[in-house]
Amino acid sequence: MPTAAKLVAAATFAIVGLLAGMAYTQILPEGMATTNLLLTATGVGLFCGWFVMGRLVGQGVLPAAGHGLRTSLMIVVWMLLIFSIRQMLIFSTRMRYDGPVDAITGVFKLGAEYATSAATLPVIAVLIVGGLIGGALSEMASQRWR
């Protein structure tokens, strides 16, 4: 059921996803393709805000901050999964894997590589601060518009 809190959470975490994607593109090597990275990060943030944070509001501001951090973590998990699967599909069409099991383990290897490259101060700071602010704003919207 659509609520104002879900709308605020979706909008806020879409911005958090966009800012985290922008921070991540700043640390990538020059000339590396970032096809649809910002659009995907914004979309994942929107959906995580609506479905994760949006359903957890109404418990107070302090728990909402924790739920906001949880939502930021979910954005990271989904982004790693989406881009790891995408890269695995690209590699598999180039016949770099010996079989399906090798391709599935390749998803986890790629996810670990992406996670270590994204574990920088700007990206983590955007996710933490954005999660705290997003959680608080969603909770305030829940209390304001019941």
Q: Based on the structure, what is the number of domains in the chain? A: 1
Give residue 69's domain range. 4-144
Residues 6+ apart with CB under 8 A from 35: none
Structure token pair of residue 104: 């599935």
pLDDT tens for each residue of 101-124:
998 898 999 899 889 988 889 999
CB proximity list for 2: less than 8 A, separation 6 or greater? none
Q: Which residue, among 10, 23, 113, 88, has the nearest Cα to 55 in the 3D structure?
A: 10
pTM here? 0.90
pLDDT digits (tens, 9 = 90+) for 131-146: 999 999 999 999 888 7
**How far is 21 from 38, CA to CA, in rounded Å?**
5
